[in-house]
Amino acid sequence: MNGSSRAALHVRGLSHAFVRDEVLSGIDFRVRAGEVVALVGPSGCGKTTLLHLAAGLLKVQDGQVDNHFASTAFMFQQPRLLPWKTALDNIALSLKAAGVRRAERHFRARELALRLGLAHRDLDKFPHQLSGGMQSRVALARALVLAPELLLLDEPFSALDVGLKEELYRLLLAHQAERHLGVLMITHDLMEAVRLSDLILVMAPAPGRIVCRFELDRAAASRDDGWVYRHTAELLQTRAVRASFGLPPVVAAAPSPPGAGRAHAQVDTGLRLIVPPVPPVAVAGGKRCG
């Protein structure tokens, strides 16, 4: 699936602190072209900081971030559209920054917008005249219009309803597969991670660190709802994930569905735990950073 290109984002031994608050510690991972990597963890565990470091929006203090992708685009939690520009001009913003001529950037923006489900008449509207879903499409189009090789997503779909989410997932996956895009997304929604990614990195707070990794070996496009539900449930049963989110351990006595428990995580499923959870990192109940 991946490997036709040698482009990759390497993060090695990355640590970060705001003044004396250690937010990230010893982060290692890699995103290759054509690969979707999800960073999962509770709110305030340093996910956004990590993404900003990867995007070069923050200065790296300790460790290494090597981005070998030719171009990188960022999509934020909120659409963050410029309210005084029409949808079309918002999409074309990054092209304008890159010095593309007006006629061409409008042509490219329009073409992509139509593929992402925006209508011609929406493109002349200002952001406040568009619904939340339409605004998210515009934000996605703005990120994709530069044809980036690496896409960084900061929980961009968290405010949308289920139907809209599904549609944007589909559009994103189609685009990702077609362009062989590397994607690093952060989310606190396990289902979203299972739905979209090839590799899930589970983070725990205080300081933010990666406690385990899951590989998903079925292509994202061929995952059906049943598969996603089953594996989300399975992921939720693992000790590391529960500890990270501050959930109490699974009660053994409860009649659990087949596949529950760590022992089953590797059996006949597409979910493979590759780094066993670090010994229960002295997690005190529901402790979270921030």
State in angstroms the smallest separation of the CB of 224 from another protein.
Answer: 34
Identity of the residue, 148 or 207, whose beta carbon is nearer to another protein in the bound complex: 148
State in angstroms the smallest separation of the CB of 48 from another protein.
Answer: 11
Residue type for 230, please? R
Backbone angles phi, psi at 191, to 5 degrees: -65, -40
Q: Which helix (H) or strand (E) holds 154?
A: strand 150-154
Is 193 within 8 Å of 179 (Cβ atoms)? no
Using DSSP, state whether 43 is helix, strand or coil. coil
Identity of the residue, 1 or 97, whose beta carbon is nearer to another protein in the bound complex: 97
Identity of the residue, 80 or 120, whose beta carbon is nearer to another protein in the bound complex: 80
Identity of the residue, 80 or 115, whose beta carbon is nearer to another protein in the bound complex: 80
Q: How far is CA 255 from CA 129, 226, 235, 264, 271, in A?
A: 50, 20, 17, 15, 22
Identity of the residue, 93 or 211, whose beta carbon is nearer to another protein in the bound complex: 93
Strand partners of residue 11: 29, 65
State in angstroms the smallest separation of the CB of 248 from another protein.
Answer: 36
State in angstroms the smallest separation of the CB of 209 from another protein.
Answer: 25
**The token pair that represents 196 in the structure block:** 């979209």
* CA 170 – CA 117 distance, rounded (Å): 11
Binding site for another protein (CB under 8 A): 55, 57, 73-74, 76, 78, 80, 82-86, 93-94, 96-97, 126, 128-129, 142
State in angstroms the smallest separation of the CB of 242 from another protein.
Answer: 33
Instruction: Give the orientation angle of helix 162-179 with respect to helix 132-144, to 10 degrees.
Output: 10
Q: How far is CA 129 from the centre of its chain?
A: 28
State in angstroms the smallest separation of the CB of 227 from another protein.
Answer: 34
* CA 75 – CA 81 distance, rounded (Å): 11
Identity of the residue, 82 or 147, whose beta carbon is nearer to another protein in the bound complex: 82
